[in-house]
Amino acid sequence: MTDTGDKRLFLTFDDGPSALYTPQLLDLLAFHDVKATFFVLGEASIQNPRIIERMLSEGHELGVHAYDHRKSVWRMSREEFGRDLDDTLAGIAAASGGEYPPPRFYRPPWGRTRAFSHDEVAMRGLTLVKWDVMAQDWQASMSARRIEARLRRRIFPGAVICLHDGRGRVPQAPARTIESLRHLLPDLLWEGYRFETL
């Protein structure tokens, strides 16, 4: 995305849903009437269908991330990558009961792509989306305060913000992300920012 000149922000979350953390995040977003886009894992979606249903029923958007996020596209053949996309889409459809439109967006794990991955994504009617602002909220060294400070420094109107609500090397990382948003969201809303899905 580019600077739109107005005060829209696109809050996105990768690697969920998490049975522990995503409901807490959804509670916080609901309290502030903030909508977000969740780039989910197929495997986690199948394991947490009620959370997927809640995301959709509360007006959030689902995007495709990966089936289990264990393998980079750099280590996949075209056929493996295509299967990963299909399995993820099938997992999301199963978790949502097939009652909602299929996802429209795809975010590559670690932001990595290959020439064939662009083709495979487009063949499934998906648009590839990366991010403008990353707070490295998955890192062990990142406290809630540091995440908040990084976001404050980097946000600009029209920015796509990438955070995480599941998985990761540090199990408690999503708790710190949620805590940073408890402080940041009210301030951004007061400053006139509004949050939209992609």
* Catalytic annotation, residues: 14, 164
The DSSP bridge partners found for residue 159 are none
Using only the alpha carbons of the chain, give its radius of gyration: 16
* Residue linked to tokens 């299967």: 83
Give CA–CA dist 141/144, Å, rounded: 10
Residue 13's nearest CA partner among 50, 60, 47 is 60
The DSSP bridge partners found for residue 8 are 194
Residue 37 phi, psi dihedral angles, 5° rounding: -115, 130
